[in-house]
């Protein structure tokens, strides 16, 4: 909440990103009215009376001032435009599309999957997944959920509905390494089909934009080029083996210049929010399927643009990710995510 009651060193200030409103879905409360002014006043009044315990750990004896980071944080602040109130129709939250009537998931509860979610430290380089598993994972990455033939665009499905802007801005450039039934190569998931024409114009003219074999009609996935791209994926992700040793890896590519122009520079960090939500969906999907995943924060964005053929700021690479069979590091101890009477999965 960015409150300063605790003993914070002045230079280590905190910056709040969002306030989450959690409410039940039910017939009696499908429409939830939100009094923003009232919530804001209650937070200011309520939190000032809290008794704070402890103080933050000092992580280093010295502090490095990264002036460009502080200047960027100021430049991308969103203007305060709080409305008095609004309402949310909880009944309109859409479910994701389902590829197969046969369950592709392990027999785990949502609670178990969330608590067992960990970042893989290495991939085994041998695990394959079936293309049905691949398609199902990607269907859960779509913002509009099950659309009955309508194009993917608006963020209507959970968890994307939680993002405070209407339409998806992030797409997935996929490096397919070990997916049974699909050729190795470079693929692309268009998460907002309004952008398809702009993407084709911005990227290499020689890309095929071919629909993969057996791909569901409502999954806007395209094969751009066939071929082994393990070394390429590793090179683009700071030469990390994990990007090429999984079943597939990907770069998240956002519509960029037009977004900054239409909405303002405050959308810059919010594009990373969207990549983060997509990443968390892939984490949970992977664990529910019996494999693992991890985000890749080190990557070369300009070479990614070169591979895709992007020559301007119309689209921007923002985040990388990989999914595959994990190599367990026995040097690392795994403890329960939360204390309780039973152990984690």
Give me the pLDDT at residue 300, please: 98
Angle at which helices 267-288 and 131-139 pack, to 10 degrees?
140
Structural domain includes residue 18: no
> Which of 42, 60, 92 is the endpoint of a domain?
92
Three-class SS state of 252: strand
Q: Please give the model's pTM, rounded to 2 decimal places.
A: 0.87
Q: Do 37 and 72 fall into the same domain?
A: yes
Residue with tokens 């190599």: 327
Structural domain includes residue 319: yes
Which pairing describes strands 179-180 and 129-130: parallel, antiparallel, or unpaired? parallel
Give me the pLDDT at residue 328, please: 87
Give me the pLDDT at residue 8, please: 55
Measured from the Cβ of residue 306, the count of other Cβ atoms closer than 10 Å reads 13
Structural domain includes residue 232: yes
Q: Do 67 and 134 fall into the same domain?
A: no
Give me the pLDDT at residue 1, please: 47
**Element (DSSP H or E) covering residue 251:** strand 248-255
DSSP for residue 250: E
Give me the pLDDT at residue 266, please: 94
Q: Do 166 and 214 fall into the same domain?
A: yes
CA distance 243 to 236: 9
Contact 156, 145 (CB under 8 A): yes
Structural domain includes residue 105: no
Structural domain includes residue 125: yes
Give me the pLDDT at residue 345, please: 43
CA distance 90 to 68: 41
Host domain of residue 73: 27-92
Q: Do 276 and 250 fall into the same domain?
A: yes
> Which of 63, 92, 121 is the endpoint of a domain?
92
Question: Residue 240 belongs to a domain with what CATH number?
Answer: 3.40.109.10
CA atoms within 13 A on the CB side of 76: 16
Q: Do 139 and 269 fall into the same domain?
A: yes
Give me the pLDDT at residue 197, please: 98
Give me the pLDDT at residue 10, please: 54
Structural domain includes residue 340: no
The residue among 284, 8, 312, 264 whose CA lies nearest residue 119 is: 284
Q: Do 117 and 223 fall into the same domain?
A: yes
Q: Do 75 and 114 fall into the same domain?
A: no
Structural domain includes residue 154: yes
The residue among 238, 290, 248, 277 whose CA lies nearest residue 158 is: 277
Q: Do 87 and 118 fall into the same domain?
A: no
83: left (phi over 0), alpha (psi -120 to 50) or beta: beta
> Which of 66, 92, 118 is the endpoint of a domain?
92
Q: Consecutive sets of 10 residues in the chain, 345 residues long: mean pLDDT of each?
A: 52 67 62 78 80 75 83 87 65 77 87 91 97 97 92 94 92 99 98 98 98 96 98 98 98 98 95 98 97 97 98 98 94 75 48
Contact 273, 113 (CB under 8 A): no
Residue with tokens 């993002």: 163
Give me the pLDDT at residue 9, please: 55
Angstrom distances, CA of residue 7 to CA of 4, 51, 198: 7, 12, 50
User: Tokens at residue 308, please?
Assistant: 């895709």
Q: Do 58 and 114 fall into the same domain?
A: no
Contacts with 279 (C-beta within 8 Å, 6 or more apart), sequence order: 252, 295, 319, 321
Contact 144, 157 (CB under 8 A): yes
Cis, bond preceding 159 (omega within 30 deg of 0) = yes
CA distance 305 to 322: 19
Q: Do 192 and 308 fall into the same domain?
A: yes
Contacts with 187 (C-beta within 8 Å, 6 or more apart), sequence order: 173, 174, 175, 176, 212, 221, 222, 223, 224
Contact 227, 307 (CB under 8 A): no
Q: Do 239 and 187 fall into the same domain?
A: yes
Structural domain includes residue 246: yes
Q: Do 88 and 124 fall into the same domain?
A: no
Q: Where are the beta strands (DSSP E) in 90-200?
A: 129-130, 170-176, 179-180, 185-189
Total number of domains constituting the chain: 2
């Amino acid at each position: 909440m960015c409150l300063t009651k605790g003993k914070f060193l002045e230079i280590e200030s905190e910056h709040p990103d969002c306030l989450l409103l959690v409410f039940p879905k039910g017939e009696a409360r499908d429409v939830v009215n939100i009094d923003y002014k009232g919530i804001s006043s209650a937070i200011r009044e309520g939190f000032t009376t809290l008794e704070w315990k402890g103080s933050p750990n000092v992580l280093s004896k010295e502090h490095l001032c990264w002036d460009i980071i502080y200047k960027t944080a100021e430049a991308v602040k969103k203007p305060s435009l709080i409305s008095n109130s609004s309402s949310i129709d909880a009944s309109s939250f859409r479910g994701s599309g389902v590829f197969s009537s046969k369950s592709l998931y392990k027999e785990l509860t949502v609670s178990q999957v969330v608590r067992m979610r960990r970042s893989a430290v290495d991939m085994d380089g041998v695990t394959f997944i079936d293309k049905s598993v691949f398609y199902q994972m990607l269907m859960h990455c779509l913002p509009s959920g099950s659309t009955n033939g309508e194009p993917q665009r608006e963020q209507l499905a959970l968890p994307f509905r939680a993002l405070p802007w209407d339409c998806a801005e992030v797409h997935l450039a996929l490096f397919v390494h070990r997916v049974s039934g699909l050729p190795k190569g470079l693929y692309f998931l268009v998460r907002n089909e309004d952008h398809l024409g702009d993407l084709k114009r911005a990227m290499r003219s020689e890309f095929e934009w071919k629909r993969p074999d057996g791909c569901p009609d409502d999954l806007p996935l395209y094969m751009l080029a066939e071929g082994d791209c393990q070394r390429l994926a590793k090179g683009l992700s700071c030469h990390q083996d994990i990007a090429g040793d999984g079943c597939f890896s990907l770069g998240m590519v956002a519509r960029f210049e037009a977004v900054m122009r239409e909405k303002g520079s405050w959308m810059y960090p919010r594009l990373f929010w969207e990549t983060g939500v997509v990443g968390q969906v892939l984490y949970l999907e992977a664990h529910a399927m019996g494999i693992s995943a991890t985000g890749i924060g080190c990557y070369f964005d300009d070479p990614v643009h070169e591979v895709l053929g992007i020559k301007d700021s119309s689209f921007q690479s923002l985040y990388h990710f990989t999914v595959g069979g994990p190599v367990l590091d026995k040097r690392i101890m795994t403890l329960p995510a939360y204390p309780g009477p039973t152990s984690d999965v």
